[in-house]
A and B are shown apart, each in its own frame.
Chain A
Amino acid sequence: MQLANLILAQLINGITLGSLYALIALGYTLVYGILLMINFAHSELFMSGAFVGLGVMTLLTSSSIAQKFPVLAPAQAFFTGSNVGVFFMLMIVFLVSMLVVGIMGVIIERFAYRPLRHAPRLAPLISAVGVSLFLQNAVLLWVSAQQIPFPNPIGNGIAFTIGTVDVSVLKVIIFVTAIVLLVALDTFISHSRFGKAMRATSQDREAAGLMGIDINFSIMLAFFIGPALGAVAGIFNGMYYGSIVFNMGFLPGLKAFTAAVLGGIGNLRGAMLGGFVLGIAESLASGFISTGYKDVIAFAILILVLIFRPGGLLGESVVEKV
């Protein structure tokens, strides 16, 4: 059936897009859950992740660099030679980028947000806007103002076909990676010692501190994990769409933030759900209604959900503290 195939194809587009949104949304929700602040700079960390990833990938695979530094030649041959090599190369790219961007997140928290922990709540929001402007322009000035092509070492191979719909290997990898990371994070938060400390910190910072939990470490951890996941999304974003640019973070960041609120901000599973719902809604909207109005539809869904369920899809209803 033509229509069924079309819907299926759009669903697959939406799930891929949703995977990216979900990965970014986690960063917003982790920080919100623990500090009750919107980390507007998160979209720039997502962008930085893509740039760091591109840098590492170029270093590992570029033949011109290998010519200049013959030491690197064998490594370069290995990383581009076989599927195994590509796998290891991507692993290094992802891990380095996650680490770098995670550390950036921690540094930003230390210098831009920690001094504001007792300040009015709009202050960190504005500080985040400042960080965001700074990062964007740093990349603009020191890397490039132009779009840069991003290689896709995985290629455009087809993983499998449902009906007449081809699903590419890259889409499968994006989805699987997102799900694995989300499950791992959920497990980490609910079962590990550090995760429990983070939850305690988010429930009551003062009391957690009195119970001997290092709240600064918990907050640091949230600021490391969120951006690291954002970096993964950034690299996938580059591979999936084929180019990156200094202001690429803005729109996906806005959408992912929307997704986090849609799911119930502060709630991890809500962020994942919100990401997928938003991605699918956007794909179906542009597939069947209008590409021009796809964002209107996404935001309209958000507003409707919030009006009828003010806490978001999975959020707990807001308890009034008197």
Chain B
Amino acid sequence: MSTKRMLAAASLLVAVAMISTGCGGSSSGSSSTSSGPTEVKIGIGAPLTAGATALGQGMVRGAELAIEQANASSTVTAAGLKFTPVSGDDQGDPKTGVTVANTFASDPALVGVMGHLNSGVSIPASKVYADKKIVMISPASTNPALTQQGLSNVFRVCTTDAVQGPAAADFATKLLGFKSVYVVDDSTPYGEGLAKAFADQFTANGGKVVGTAKTSDKDSDFNALVTKMKSTNPDFIYYGGVYNAGALLAKQAKDGGIKGPLMGGDGLYDPQFIALAGAAEAEGDFATSVGLPIDKLPAGQDFLTAYNKKYPGQAPAAYDAYSYDAANVIIAAVVEAAKSVGADKVVSPAGRDEIIKDVAATNMVGVTGPIAFDKNGDTTNKAITLYTVSGGKWITKALPQ
């Protein structure tokens, strides 16, 4: 009927259009012809309006600080470059994250992405970037699967769960002398992986896992769980998850009469954790985080000074320093690439290849410690520091062993 005829006509037309235009050679991307510096954009993918927004907004602050400093530095201006941050709100949701990734990929001047936070977003987004040769450095996605996809453009400056979990278990058994633990996770890829890696090592170290529980990152009521945990009388609770729900668990555990502290990963290492749980309830809780404490490193001191100047009254969240480092790695690679292929070519496919190559060869000292990547794109910095809450603040409890 009409449908058939219609389709036939349509396909004919398209075919004609395609043939008549003919094939040309592949062209390079847009290149700026103006005499000013080449504008290079860096995407910042983070949850800004939903999900772990405190962490996401912190990521934007960290990366924007790095970019601002880069634009003021002589190496960048000498290389004829100017960096512009573009933030994309992935809402911690894979589908939205992929849309954001495609948005980033649509910008011909965008060569790198500092993000994303959630492993569940980073994994599908990384495939979009791979197609367009955009380098991606996650400051926070710890799921091992991210860098095991065989994509050359994917890196991370944080360690995987497989490093952080066992390190936390070692601290717990060897340093703190804990013998029994109740392991709770928040049913997110991050929390689940971390809790499992921790539990395995804790058992291997001779500790006893007296119980495990899965909760949701949107739960607010942990009273029933606390009652159940109390009956098993663990030395401490290990929580794989982010501060939002983690703080509520810490508070309800203390209020419910559990004496032992709560311990978690870098997702808890945020001032918001203490604010939400209450300084008294959070006192003595632990969190591990990747790298050396930033205030112990000379570069870290400078970072904190600059951070406080740009964002007065704002304490850095868990991933601000990593985001700062990740953005700096991208910036350094772009500057390198500009030197070898020319500033006006860095956004071209050849420039992008060069940038990815330069990121892979990174060897610099960031505010979180030395930064270099192994063949998968994981950081070789496997130092894990233990922090504890004391007097309403996170303080360093133990340096990497």
Chains A, B in direct contact (C-beta < 8 Å): yes
Contact of B272 among A13, A17, A146 (CB under 8 A): A146
Asked if A247 lies at the interface with its beta carbon under 8 angstroms from chain B, I say yes
Question: A237-B220, A286-B224 known; 15 other A-B pairs, CB under 8 Å?
Answer: A10-B227, A140-B49, A145-B50, A145-B57, A147-B244, A149-B276, A241-B220, A241-B248, A242-B247, A242-B276, A243-B220, A251-B220, A287-B224, A290-B213, A291-B213
Residues of A contacting B244 in the complex (Cβ-Cβ under 8 angstroms): 147, 245
Measured between C-beta atoms, what is the minimum distance from B262 to chain A in Å? 14
Measured between C-beta atoms, what is the minimum distance from B108 to chain A in Å? 31
B139-147, B249-257, B297-305 - interface stretch: B249-257
Q: Is the CB of B225 within 8 A of A286?
A: yes
Measured between C-beta atoms, what is the minimum distance from A127 to chain B in Å? 23
Asked if A9 lies at the interface with its beta carbon under 8 angstroms from chain B, I say yes
List residues of A whose CB falls within 8 A of some B CB.
2, 6, 9-10, 13-14, 16-17, 140, 145-147, 149, 156, 166, 168, 237, 241-243, 245, 247-248, 250-251, 282-284, 286-288, 290-292, 294
Q: Is the CB of B221 within 8 A of A10?
A: no
Asked if B208 lies at the interface with its beta carbon under 8 angstroms from chain A, I say no
Q: Is the CB of B213 within 8 A of A243?
A: no
Bound together, the chains give a CA A249 to CA B57 distance in angstroms of: 23
Interface residues of B in 212-251 (CB under 8 A from A): 213-215, 218-221, 223-225, 227-228, 231, 244, 247-248, 251
Bound together, the chains give a CA A88 to CA B221 distance in angstroms of: 28
Bound together, the chains give a CA A248 to CA B221 distance in angstroms of: 11
Residues of B contacting A156 in the complex (Cβ-Cβ under 8 angstroms): 255
Contact of B221 among A17, A149, A168, A290 (CB under 8 A): A17
Asked if B187 lies at the interface with its beta carbon under 8 angstroms from chain A, I say yes
Asked if B77 lies at the interface with its beta carbon under 8 angstroms from chain A, I say no
Residues of A contacting B224 in the complex (Cβ-Cβ under 8 angstroms): 10, 13-14, 17, 282-284, 286-287, 291, 294
Residues of A contacting B225 in the complex (Cβ-Cβ under 8 angstroms): 286-287, 291
Q: List 26 A-B contacts (CB under 8 A).
A: A6-B231, A10-B224, A13-B227, A16-B223, A145-B49, A145-B50, A147-B276, A149-B278, A156-B255, A237-B220, A241-B248, A241-B251, A241-B252, A242-B247, A251-B219, A283-B227, A284-B224, A286-B213, A287-B228, A288-B228, A290-B214, A291-B214, A291-B225, A292-B213, A292-B214, A292-B215
Measured between C-beta atoms, what is the minimum distance from B231 to chain A in Å? 5
Residues of A contacting B187 in the complex (Cβ-Cβ under 8 angstroms): 292
Q: Which of A140, A145, A251 has the most CB atoms of chain B within a 10 A radius of its CB? A: A145
Asked if B277 lies at the interface with its beta carbon under 8 angstroms from chain A, I say yes
Contact of B278 among A6, A17, A242, A290 (CB under 8 A): A242
Q: Which of B49, B224, B278 has the most CB atoms of chain A within a 10 A radius of its CB? A: B224
Bound together, the chains give a CA A286 to CA B53 distance in angstroms of: 28
Q: Is the CB of A13 within 8 A of B223?
A: yes
List residues of B whose CB falls within 8 A of some A CB.
48-50, 53-54, 57, 187, 213-215, 218-221, 223-225, 227-228, 231, 244, 247-248, 251-252, 255, 257, 272, 275-278
Minimal Cβ-Cβ distance residue in B for A166: B257
Q: How many A-B residue pairs have CB under 8 A?
A: 87
Q: A10-B224, A17-B221 are in contact. Are A242 and B248 (CB under 8 A)?
A: yes
Q: Is the CB of B227 within 8 A of A145?
A: no
Minimal Cβ-Cβ distance residue in B for A284: B224
Nearest 10 Cβ contacts at the A-B interface:
A292-B214, A286-B224, A283-B224, A145-B53, A291-B213, A13-B223, A9-B227, A241-B220, A243-B276, A287-B228
The interface residues of chain A, by DSSP majority, are classed as: helix
Q: A140-B49, A242-B277, A286-B225 are in contact. Are A291 and B215 (CB under 8 A)?
A: yes
Bound together, the chains give a CA A166 to CA B225 distance in angstroms of: 16
Q: Which of B223, B231, B276 has the most CB atoms of chain A within a 10 A radius of its CB? A: B223
Measured between C-beta atoms, what is the minimum distance from B153 to chain A in Å? 30
Measured between C-beta atoms, what is the minimum distance from B246 to chain A in Å? 11
Measured between C-beta atoms, what is the minimum distance from B319 to chain A in Å? 15
Measured between C-beta atoms, what is the minimum distance from A26 to chain B in Å? 19
Minimal Cβ-Cβ distance residue in A for B48: A145
Q: Is the CB of A6 within 8 A of B227?
A: yes
Residues of B contacting A140 in the complex (Cβ-Cβ under 8 angstroms): 49
Bound together, the chains give a CA A61 to CA B219 distance in angstroms of: 29
Q: Is the CB of B215 within 8 A of A149?
A: no
Residues of B contacting A6 in the complex (Cβ-Cβ under 8 angstroms): 227-228, 231
Measured between C-beta atoms, what is the minimum distance from A248 to chain B in Å? 7
Measured between C-beta atoms, what is the minimum distance from B229 to chain A in Å? 10
Q: Which of A2, A241, A282 has the most CB atoms of chain B within a 10 A radius of its CB? A: A241
Q: Is the CB of B247 within 8 A of A243?
A: yes
Q: Which of A16, A17, A286 has the most CB atoms of chain B within a 10 A radius of its CB? A: A286
Measured between C-beta atoms, what is the minimum distance from A22 to chain B in Å? 15
Residues of B contacting A242 in the complex (Cβ-Cβ under 8 angstroms): 247-248, 251-252, 276-278
Contact of B248 among A2, A243, A284 (CB under 8 A): A243
Q: Is the CB of A147 within 8 A of B215?
A: no
Bound together, the chains give a CA A245 to CA B50 distance in angstroms of: 11
Residues of B contacting A147 in the complex (Cβ-Cβ under 8 angstroms): 244, 247, 272, 276
Measured between C-beta atoms, what is the minimum distance from B265 to chain A in Å? 19
Q: Which of A2, A13, A166 has the most CB atoms of chain B within a 10 A radius of its CB? A: A13
Measured between C-beta atoms, what is the minimum distance from A17 to chain B in Å? 6
Residues of B contacting A166 in the complex (Cβ-Cβ under 8 angstroms): 257
Residues of B contacting A290 in the complex (Cβ-Cβ under 8 angstroms): 213-214
Residues of A contacting B215 in the complex (Cβ-Cβ under 8 angstroms): 291-292
Residues of A contacting B248 in the complex (Cβ-Cβ under 8 angstroms): 241-243
Measured between C-beta atoms, what is the minimum distance from B147 to chain A in Å? 28
Residues of A contacting B54 in the complex (Cβ-Cβ under 8 angstroms): 146
Q: Is the CB of A2 within 8 A of B223?
A: no
Residues of A contacting B213 in the complex (Cβ-Cβ under 8 angstroms): 286, 290-292
Minimal Cβ-Cβ distance residue in B for A252: B220
Measured between C-beta atoms, what is the minimum distance from A222 to chain B in Å? 28
Q: Is the CB of A241 within 8 A of B227?
A: no
Measured between C-beta atoms, what is the minimum distance from A10 to chain B in Å? 6
Residues of B contacting A283 in the complex (Cβ-Cβ under 8 angstroms): 223-224, 227
Minimal Cβ-Cβ distance residue in B for A155: B255
Bound together, the chains give a CA A16 to CA B248 distance in angstroms of: 17
Measured between C-beta atoms, what is the minimum distance from A159 to chain B in Å? 14
Bound together, the chains give a CA A166 to CA B223 distance in angstroms of: 13
Measured between C-beta atoms, what is the minimum distance from A12 to chain B in Å? 9
Measured between C-beta atoms, what is the minimum distance from B270 to chain A in Å? 10
Measured between C-beta atoms, what is the minimum distance from A57 to chain B in Å? 16
Measured between C-beta atoms, what is the minimum distance from A193 to chain B in Å? 39
